[in-house]
């Protein structure tokens, strides 16, 4: 009778499960919130009539004035640089994501391997317990001894292969951990690049774009002189007062930085043109002794350096017969309308055609006191 020695080979211990946590990286660029905000502002820089809400908030409701072309172009050039860097970052992100996916697949294989090792260890532990129950603690007959010896040999072989597999997996876990550590270092550097791209380039651009939109104004589109087509005026000191009205392309007019009044003579000299010293939108033409035909021109320049001109044709005649204003049938009794009493007719028309600046209302008009006899 023989006693069977206890098994000394044990199933090895496996390293724990791991999961990759370094990526993804490309969405850090493609889904960047600052970049999306910048895209919205860029669209507003490139369009007219989109919304600029209170305190510069973009809401797509209120109108905003177009940004001056030099300012807009400078901002768009800067944005192109932001887009170039974005493309470079996306290019840098893709190999990082490819390595991250490779590490993830590697981890899946290691985890499947681990589950198989655990299942095998559980089976080996059961076999070890069965061996100890059947073969230890008592003398064995010869046939049982041979059976236990065979059992022990098979178990030790299986445990040896299991432990070799455990050791190989543990080695590969170390390889995976080193790969993950390297990728994390590269990923941290990439995240810093993305953060700098957003904070040092996009955010300052957003600030400047918002400021440009808030400070933008509507350019001058047209200059209208009143009266635009005055009746002939008499020679010898007759006076024609003209007012210039600036028409803008929107609701936020650019300041006018220059008014320039000039006269253009076609025939003779229409007279002496004097700009009002207190109000540059007003000018007075005083006729001389000769008959003449020409025009009075007002040129204005706004703060964006846009220049527009308006003109009024002037005829100076030595033989002008006039018709008096019918005050009861004219502005202000009949709104925006002027009528005149002549010998055989009653000329009439809108205030815009027959009006002159009203000294009592700088922004308004009044009917001329007389017109040329038809």
> Could you say which of 176, 194, 215 is where a domain stops?
215
Most confident segment among 193-207, 243-257, 278-292: 193-207
DSSP 21-63: -S---HHHHHT-HHHHHHHHHHHHHTSSS-B--GGG---SSSB
Let me know whether 306 and 193 are in one domain. Answer: no
- In a domain, residue 1? The reply is no
Q: Rounded mean pLDDT of 69-78?
A: 91
Res 10: pLDDT: 54
Q: Residue 71's pLDDT is what?
A: 87
Contact 246, 233 (CB under 8 A): no
Q: Which residue has the higher pLDDT, 350 or 21?
A: 350
Q: What separation in angstroms does the CA of 47 have from each of 15, 66, 207?
A: 61, 8, 18
Average pLDDT over residues 76-95: 96
Residue 206 sits in the same domain as residue 288: no
- Whole-angstrom Cα distance, residue 306 to residue 304? 6
Do both 176 and 309 map to the same domain? no
Same structural domain for residues 205 and 231? no
| Structural domain count, the chain | 2
78 plus 157 within the same structural domain: yes
Q: 367 and 267 share a domain?
A: yes
Indicate if 210 and 228 belong to the same structural domain.
Answer: no
Residue ranges of E strands in the chain: 220-226, 233-234, 239-248, 256-267, 272-275, 282-286, 292-302, 307-317, 322-325, 337-341, 348-350, 355-358, 361-367, 370-372
**Which of 317, 298, 276 lies closest to 226, judged by CA?**
298
- Please classify residue 231 by burial: count the beta carbons closer than 10 Å to its beta carbon, then call 0-12 exposed, 13-18 middle and 19+ buried: buried
Task: Evaluate whether residue 64 is within a structural domain.
Answer: yes
Q: What is the pLDDT of residues 181-224, one digit of tens each?
A: 999 999 999 999 999 999 999 999 999 999 988 888 888 889 99
What is the pTM for the complete model shown? 0.57
């Amino acid at each position: 009778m023989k006693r069977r020695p206890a098994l000394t080979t044990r199933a090895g211990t496996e390293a724990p499960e791991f999961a990759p946590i370094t990526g993804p990286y490309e969405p850090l660029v493609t889904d960047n919130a600052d970049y999306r905000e910048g895209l919205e502002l860029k669209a507003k820089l490139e369009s007219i009539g989109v919304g600029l809400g209170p305190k510069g908030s973009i809401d797509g409701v209120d109108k905003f004035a177009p940004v001056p072309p030099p300012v807009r172009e400078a901002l768009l050039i800067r944005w192109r640089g932001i887009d170039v860097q974005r493309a470079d970052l996306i290019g840098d992100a893709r190999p990082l994501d490819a390595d991250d996916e490779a590490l993830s697949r590697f981890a899946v294989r290691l985890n499947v391997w681990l589950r198989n090792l655990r299942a095998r260890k559980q089976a080996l532990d059961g076999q070890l317990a069965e061996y100890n129950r059947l073969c230890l603690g008592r003398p064995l007959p010869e046939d049982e001894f041979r059976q236990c010896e065979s059992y022990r040999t098979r178990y030790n072989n299986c445990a040896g292969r299991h432990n070799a597999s455990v050791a190989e997996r543990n080695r590969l876990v170390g390889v995976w951990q080193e790969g993950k550590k390297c990728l994390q270092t590269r990923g941290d550097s990439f995240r810093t690049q993305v953060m700098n791209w957003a904070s040092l380039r996009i955010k300052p651009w957003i600030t400047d774009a918002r400021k440009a939109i808030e400070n933008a104004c509507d350019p001058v589109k047209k200059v209208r002189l009143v009266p635009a087509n005055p009746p002939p005026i008499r020679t010898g000191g007759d006076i024609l007062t003209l007012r210039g009205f600036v028409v803008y392309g929107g609701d936020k007019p650019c300041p006018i930085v220059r008014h320039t009044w000039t006269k253009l003579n076609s025939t003779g000299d229409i007279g002496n043109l004097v700009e009002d010293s207190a109000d540059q939108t007003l000018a007075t033409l005083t006729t001389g002794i000769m008959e003449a035909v020409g025009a009075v021109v007002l040129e204005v320049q706004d703060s964006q350096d846009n220049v527009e001109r308006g003109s009024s044709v002037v005829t100076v005649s030595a033989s002008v017969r006039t018709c008096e204003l019918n005050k009861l049938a004219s502005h202000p009794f009949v709104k925006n309308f002027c009528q005149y009493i002549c010998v055989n007719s009653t000329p009439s028309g809108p205030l815009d055609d027959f009006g002159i600046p009203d000294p009592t209302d700088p922004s308004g008009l009044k009917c001329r006191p007389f017109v040329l006899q038809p």
